[in-house]
Chains A and B, each alone.
Chain A
Amino acid sequence: MNLNIFTYELKHFYRNKAKLYSYIVFMFLSLYALVNVYNIKEKQQDTINEICHKKEQERLKVIKWYENNQIGPDDKSWVNINDPFWAILYNPTYVIKNPSKLYPMGIGQSEQYGFYKQTKRWSSTYDTDMAEEISNYERLINGSVDFSFLIIFLLPVLYIILTYNINTLERDLDFHKLISIQCIKLKKWVISRLLFYLILILVSISSLIIIVGLASGGFEVIVQILKLIFLSNIYIFSFAIIYYFINIKSKNSSSSSFKMISIWMIFCVIIPGSVHQYANYKYPANFMTDFLDTNRKETYEIFELDNIDLHNLLIELYPSLENLDNFENQKLKDQAIRRSISAIVNQMNIHAANEIEIQNENKNKLIKSSYVYNPVSFVQNLWNSYTETDYYAYKNYRFQVQESITARNELMLKEIWNNKVSDKKTYLKYIQTLKLEN
C-alpha cells in the first residue's frame, strides 16, 4: 500500500463534500437506528414490567385470601383456593421473551412475534395471543431503520458512493494514462485508494458495534460482539472485492456506478426476493388447519368421551396416575378426570405444534439451501441469530411457552390425583414450581 496515495485520498475525501456528507449522514443514521431500536427495547421492557407487576399483584391477592382464611373472590362462590385445582388456576404465569442484550444491534424478526404470553392450562403455542405486538401493518412491510439494515443494505451503497469514481473519474476526464506515466501501477493505485475507504468504513462500524454492544450488553456479550464485527467486516470486504473489479474494468464513472448498483440490486433485492417468492410458492402460507382441528374439533371429541375412556387415556399418557385412585367417592374421581382433560389436550397440542414446526423447518431448509447464491439472507439471518431476534430465537421462546403449559398441567394432575389440599405454603411452592417464565 502506498502511504502517499492513502494520505492523498484522505484529503480528497475531506474536500469532496458529496462523499464526506454521505459518510456523516450514514454515521448519524447509524446512531439514529441504534437509538430507535433502543427505544423499542425500552417500550418492550415497560410492557414486561407492567406484566410482572400485574402478575405479582394477582399472586399477592391470593396470598391475602389465604392469610384472611378466605377461599376465593367474593363474587365467585364456587372458587375454593384450598383445592389445588383453583389454587393453581389462580396462580398466573407469563412466559416472556426478554429483548436480548444486543437487541439495539438488530431488530431482526422480532416485530413478527409476540414477546409475552400468559400460560393457562388450555393454552397452546399457536394461540392467537401469540400474535405480534400492535403495529401499523403498512409500516411493518417497510420495516424499521435498524442497525443491521444499515450495515447489510445501506453500507454497500455508501461504499458505492465513496468509490464508484475511483479510476473511472480519471477515465471520464481522460487523464488516466497520467497515472501509469507517473510509474505507479494502476492496480496498486486503485487498491490503495479503495483501502482508504474500506478501512474508514470498517473502523467506523467496528467502533460503533463495540461501543453500543458493550454499553447495552457489557462484557457478557463480548463473543457476540466480536462475531458481529467479524461478520460485518467480511460482508463489506466481499462487496469491496467485487467493486474493485468493477473499478478496474469500467470505462467511465457512469458505467461503474451502474454496475455497482446493479450488483447491489441483484444481491440485496432480486436474489432474496426470488428465493422468497419460490419458498412461498413451494410452501405457501400455512392456514394450519391440522392444528385448528386439534385445537378445536379433536378437543371437543375428547370432551365427548365418557369418564372411563378418559381415565384410560389419562393412564396411557401419564402412567404414574395408575396407582393414584384414592378418591372418597366416584363423584370426586369423575371430577378429577374431567379436570384432567386439559392435560390430554395439551399432549395433543404438543403433537400438532410439532407438525407445524416440522413444516416450518422444511421451508427453512429450502431457504438455507439458497445461501450459496443468496449470501445477503445468510448474513441477515446470522446477524439476527447473534442478536437473538431470528426465527429460532422465537422458536425457543415457543418451546418455553410449551414447557410452562406442560408444567402447569402436570402440577395440576399431581396435586389433584394425590388428593392434596392447598394452603399458603403450598401456593408459594406452586409459584416456585411454575416459575419457568423468566
Chain B
Amino acid sequence: MLTIFKNEWKAFLRNKIFLFFSLFFVLLLIITTYFGILQNNQQIINQKSAQDHIRKQWDEMGPYNAHSAAHFGTYAFKPNSILSNLDEGVNAVTGVVLRLEGHKQNDAAFSESSQSLFVSQFGKFKISLLFQFIIPLFLIFFSYNIYTSEITSGRLKLLIVQGNSFRKIIFSKILTILSLAGILLLISILFQLLLNFNQIGVEEILRLSIFFLAYILYYFIIISFTVLISLLLKSNTSALSLTLICWFLWTIFFPKTIGSFTENLTPQSSRFLLQSNMDEDREKGIDGHNPEDMRIKDLEAKVLREYNVDSLSQLPINFSGILLQADEDYGNKVWDKHYGLLYSNLLKQKKHYQISGLINPFASLQNLSMASSGTDLIHHLDFLSKAELYRRKFIKTLNDEYTYGNFKIDGGNLSSRDFFKSINDFNYNGLSIHKIIVQYTLDILFLISWTVILLLLINVKTKKYLINES
C-alpha cells in the first residue's frame, strides 16, 4: 500500500496541473491566513480601543448620582477570538455593540453586514471559504477518475497482476489525495501557530485539533464518495456530474433550505411581539418611577417594618434605590422568561439543523468549524448571557450605592469618582471548547458515520470487483 501511495505521489508531482493547483492553493492559503490574521488582530485592537474609550469616560465620571450613572450605562463590544479568522461564523451578521444600562436590556446592534452594500453571498475570503467550498471541489476533480483512468490506461490490471489487491489500490489513491488535503490543512494550522505564537494555549490547540479532524473527515467523505460514485457508474462523465450535483446540494442548497425549514419548525415571535409581551409583563411589576403602584405599597410596608419606622422619611436609607432594584429584579425575571424561550428556540433550531448532518455531512463540518473557531451561535449566546449577567451586577452595585451610599458630596446624593472607578469593566471570558463539545456530539457522530459507511461501501465494492474479475 505504501509503495502505491509513494508512486501516486510521484505521479502527482509529475503532473503539471496537479503541481500548479497544489502550489496555487498553498500560496492562496498563506495569503488568506496571513490577511485573515492581520484583519482579525486589527479587529481585536479596535474592539479593545473602543472598550478602553468607553471605560475612560466611566473613570472620568463623578461626583455623580448613582442612578443617573445606571442610565448613563456602559457598553460591551463583542470581541473576536484569535481563531475567528479561521471561520467567521455568525460574527458578520450579529451586532457588535451592546448597551448595558438600567431598566432595560438591549440587543446587540450595528452588525457588520448592515454597514455596507452587499458583497459576497458566501462570506469573506477566509480560510473556511477556501476549505469548505473551493478545496472540496478540486478534491472531486482530482478523485473522480482515479478508478476509470486506471482501467482505460490498462494500469489497473498491471497493478493487480503485480500482486496488489484492488481494494489496496483504491484506498492508496484515496489516501494520496487525502494527504494532499491534509497538507493544506496543516499548512494553514502551522501558520496560525506561527503568527499567533504568543497567544496560542492549550485551548487553542484543542480547538485547532477539532478543526483539523473535522475537515480531514469531511475531505475523506468527499474523496471516498466521489470514488464510490465512479466505482458504481464506471463512467467519468456520469460520476463527475453526479458528484458535482451532490456537492452542490450539500454545500449550497441544503444549508439554505434546511436552515429555513428549521426556522419554520420552531417559529420565533417577531421582535415587536416579543417586546410587547415583555412590556406587558413588566407593567404588571413594580415601576420604579410609579409611586401609585400597588406593589410599591407592599414593598414600602415591608421596608418600613424591616426598619421599624412609620414613614419613608424616617428611613436611614434611600427608598427609591430599593424600588429601582426591585424593578430591575422583576425586569430580569421578565427577560429570563422571554429571552430564555428565545434562546432555547434558537438552540432547538440549531439542534434540528445538526440532524441534517445525516444527509449532509457539510452541515456537520460547518457546525464543527464554527464551534472550533468560537464563532457559532452557542458562543454568541454565551457572550450575550454573560453581558446580561454583568449588566445585572453593574446595575445592582449602582442601585445599592444609591440606596445605602454614605453621601458626603455637596450634601446631596452624589457618589464619588472612586466609587465609580471601583466598578470593574465587563471582561468577557470566552467559552472553553470542552464545555460545549458535548453539544456537537451529533455532528461528530455523523461525520464518523459517513466515514465508516463509505469505508464499508468501498470495501464491499472493491471486493465485488475482484470476485467479478476472477
Residues of A within 8 A of B (CB): 18, 22, 29, 32, 36, 43, 46-47, 50-51, 54, 75-77, 108-109, 112-114, 116, 126-145, 149, 152-154, 157, 161, 165, 169, 172, 253-254, 257-258, 261, 265, 268-270, 272-277, 279-281, 283-289, 292-293, 296-297, 300, 360, 363-364, 367-368, 377, 380-381, 384, 390-392, 394
Quick check: A138 and B125 within 8 Å, CB to CB? no
With A126-B109, A276-B124 given, is the CB distance from A36 to B260 under 8 Å? Answer: yes
- Please measure, in the bound complex, the distance between the C-alpha atom of A375 and the C-alpha atom of B342, giving whole angstroms: 39
Quick check: A128 and B292 within 8 Å, CB to CB? no
- Please measure, in the bound complex, the distance between the C-alpha atom of A334 and the C-alpha atom of B5, giving whole angstroms: 88
Q: For A149, what are the chain B residues with a Cβ–Cβ distance below 8 Å?
A: 121, 256
Give the shortest distance, in Å, between B20 (CB) and chain A (any CB).
12
Report the nearest A residue to B116, measured CB to CB.
Answer: A363
Nearest first, the 5 closest Cβ-Cβ pairs linking A and B are A273-B125, A272-B120, A139-B259, A285-B112, A137-B90
Give the shortest distance, in Å, between A16 (CB) and chain B (any CB).
11
0/1 string, B33-76, CB within 8 A of A gives 1: 00110110011001100100110010000000000100011010
State the majority secondary structure of interface residues on A.
helix
Quick check: B270 and A134 within 8 Å, CB to CB? yes
Q: Which of A253, A280, A368 has the most CB of B within 10 A?
A: A280
Quick check: A269 and B263 within 8 Å, CB to CB? no
Q: For A144, what are the chain B residues with a Cβ–Cβ distance below 8 Å?
A: 256, 259-260
Quick check: A276 and B119 within 8 Å, CB to CB? yes
B197: Cβ under 8 A from any A Cβ? no
B307: Cβ under 8 A from any A Cβ? no
Q: For A377, what are the chain B residues with a Cβ–Cβ distance below 8 Å?
A: 117-120
With A131-B108, A273-B123 given, is the CB distance from A47 to B117 under 8 Å? Answer: no
Give the shortest distance, in Å, between A342 (CB) and chain B (any CB).
15
With A18-B241, A126-B110 given, is the CB distance from A138 to B350 under 8 Å? Answer: yes
Partner of A254, one of B106, B118, B145, B380: B145
Quick check: A50 and B121 within 8 Å, CB to CB? no
With A142-B259, A289-B54 given, is the CB distance from A284 to B95 under 8 Å? Answer: no
- Please measure, in the bound complex, the distance between the C-alpha atom of A30 and the C-alpha atom of B210, giving whole angstroms: 37
Give the shortest distance, in Å, between A193 (CB) and chain B (any CB).
17
Give the contacts of B231-258 with A (CB-CB under 8 A): 236-237, 240-241, 244-245, 248, 252-253, 255-257
Q: Which of A43, A108, A276, A384 has the most CB of B within 10 A?
A: A276
Q: Which of B177-185, B271-279, B311-319, B443-451 contacts A (4 or more CB under 8 A)?
A: B271-279
Partner of A75, one of B118, B144, B292: B292
Q: Which of A75, A134, A157, A281 has the most CB of B within 10 A?
A: A134
- The contact size tier of chain B is 35 or more
Q: For A289, what are the chain B residues with a Cβ–Cβ distance below 8 Å?
A: 50, 53-54
Q: For B276, what are the chain A residues with a Cβ–Cβ distance below 8 Å?
A: 54
Q: For B46, what are the chain A residues with a Cβ–Cβ distance below 8 Å?
A: 284-285, 287
Q: For B108, what are the chain A residues with a Cβ–Cβ distance below 8 Å?
A: 128, 131
0/1 string, B404-421, CB within 8 A of A gives 1: 000000000000000000
Q: For B38, what are the chain A residues with a Cβ–Cβ distance below 8 Å?
A: 281
Give the shortest distance, in Å, between A155 (CB) and chain B (any CB).
13
Q: For B327, what are the chain A residues with a Cβ–Cβ distance below 8 Å?
A: none
Quick check: B237 and A172 within 8 Å, CB to CB? yes
Quick check: B290 and A75 within 8 Å, CB to CB? yes
Quick check: A116 and B119 within 8 Å, CB to CB? no
With A132-B111, A145-B256, A272-B121 given, is the CB distance from A292 to B75 under 8 Å? Answer: yes
Partner of A134, one of B43, B124, B342: B342
Quick check: A134 and B248 within 8 Å, CB to CB? no
Q: For B272, what are the chain A residues with a Cβ–Cβ distance below 8 Å?
A: 47, 50-51, 116
4 new A-B contacts, CB < 8 A, other than A254-B237, A268-B121, A285-B96, are A145-B257, A152-B121, A363-B117, A380-B121
B439: Cβ under 8 A from any A Cβ? no
Q: Which of A135, A287, A368 has the most CB of B within 10 A?
A: A287
Report the nearest A residue to B268, measured CB to CB.
Answer: A134
Partner of A281, one of B39, B97, B137: B39
Quick check: B110 and A137 within 8 Å, CB to CB? no
Give the contacts of B104-154 with A (CB-CB under 8 A): 106-126, 129, 133-134, 137, 141, 144-145
Give the contacts of B85-103 with A (CB-CB under 8 A): 89-90, 92-97, 99
Give the shortest distance, in Å, between B395 (CB) and chain A (any CB).
16
Give the shortest distance, in Å, between A195 (CB) and chain B (any CB).
22
Quick check: A364 and B116 within 8 Å, CB to CB? yes
Q: For A108, what are the chain B residues with a Cβ–Cβ distance below 8 Å?
A: 118
Quick check: A138 and B270 within 8 Å, CB to CB? no
Report the nearest B residue to A142, measured CB to CB.
Answer: B255
B346: Cβ under 8 A from any A Cβ? yes
Give the contacts of B252-304 with A (CB-CB under 8 A): 252-253, 255-257, 259-260, 262-263, 268-276, 290, 292-293
Report the nearest A residue to B267, measured CB to CB.
Answer: A43
- Please measure, in the bound complex, the distance between the C-alpha atom of A127 and the C-alpha atom of B101, giving whole angstroms: 14
B353: Cβ under 8 A from any A Cβ? yes
Give the shortest distance, in Å, between A154 (CB) and chain B (any CB).
8
Q: For A257, what are the chain B residues with a Cβ–Cβ distance below 8 Å?
A: 240-241, 244
Q: For A384, what are the chain B residues with a Cβ–Cβ distance below 8 Å?
A: 118
- Please measure, in the bound complex, the distance between the C-alpha atom of A23 and the C-alpha atom of B118, giving whole angstroms: 28
Partner of A141, one of B89, B97, B269: B89
Partner of A275, one of B36, B114, B119: B119
With A139-B260, A265-B134, A269-B129 given, is the CB distance from A367 to B89 under 8 Å? Answer: no
- Please measure, in the bound complex, the distance between the C-alpha atom of A18 and the C-alpha atom of B116, giving whole angstroms: 40
Report the nearest A residue to B347, measured CB to CB.
Answer: A136
Report the nearest A residue to B95, measured CB to CB.
Answer: A131
Partner of A253, one of B53, B237, B253: B237
B226: Cβ under 8 A from any A Cβ? no
- Please measure, in the bound complex, the distance between the C-alpha atom of A129 and the C-alpha atom of B50, giving whole angstroms: 21
Q: For A153, what are the chain B residues with a Cβ–Cβ distance below 8 Å?
A: 121, 252
Report the nearest B residue to A77, measured CB to CB.
Answer: B292
Quick check: B118 and A76 within 8 Å, CB to CB? no
With A135-B263, A144-B260, A285-B43 given, is the CB distance from A270 to B118 under 8 Å? Answer: no
- Please measure, in the bound complex, the distance between the C-alpha atom of A334 and the C-alpha atom of B272, giving whole angstroms: 37
Quick check: A138 and B377 within 8 Å, CB to CB? yes
Q: For A277, what are the chain B residues with a Cβ–Cβ distance below 8 Å?
A: 35-36, 39, 124-126
Give the shortest distance, in Å, between A39 (CB) and chain B (any CB).
9
What are 14 A-B contacts defined by CB distance under 8 Å? Answer: A18-B241, A47-B270, A112-B113, A128-B95, A128-B108, A128-B109, A131-B95, A141-B89, A149-B121, A153-B121, A172-B237, A284-B42, A292-B75, A377-B117
Partner of A390, one of B90, B118, B257, B377: B118
Quick check: A137 and B259 within 8 Å, CB to CB? no
- Please measure, in the bound complex, the distance between the C-alpha atom of A143 and the C-alpha atom of B118, giving whole angstroms: 12
- Please measure, in the bound complex, the distance between the C-alpha atom of A126 and the C-alpha atom of B97, giving whole angstroms: 11
With A161-B241, A368-B117 given, is the CB distance from A287 to B90 under 8 Å? Answer: no
- Please measure, in the bound complex, the distance between the C-alpha atom of A250 and the C-alpha atom of B133, giving whole angstroms: 24
Quick check: B263 and A276 within 8 Å, CB to CB? no
Q: For A261, what are the chain B residues with a Cβ–Cβ distance below 8 Å?
A: 137, 244
B388: Cβ under 8 A from any A Cβ? no
- Please measure, in the bound complex, the distance between the C-alpha atom of A133 and the C-alpha atom of B269, giving whole angstroms: 9
B349: Cβ under 8 A from any A Cβ? yes
Give the shortest distance, in Å, between B276 (CB) and chain A (any CB).
7
Give the shortest distance, in Å, between B91 (CB) and chain A (any CB).
8
Give the shortest distance, in Å, between A14 (CB) and chain B (any CB).
18
Quick check: A276 and B237 within 8 Å, CB to CB? no
Give the shortest distance, in Å, between A177 (CB) and chain B (any CB).
20
With A131-B108, A270-B125 given, is the CB distance from A139 to B349 under 8 Å? Answer: yes
Report the nearest A residue to B43, measured CB to CB.
Answer: A284
Report the nearest A residue to B248, measured CB to CB.
Answer: A157
Give the shortest distance, in Å, between A194 (CB) and chain B (any CB).
18
Q: For B169, what are the chain A residues with a Cβ–Cβ distance below 8 Å?
A: none
With A272-B120, A292-B97 given, is the CB distance from A114 to B39 under 8 Å? Answer: no
Quick check: A381 and B118 within 8 Å, CB to CB? yes
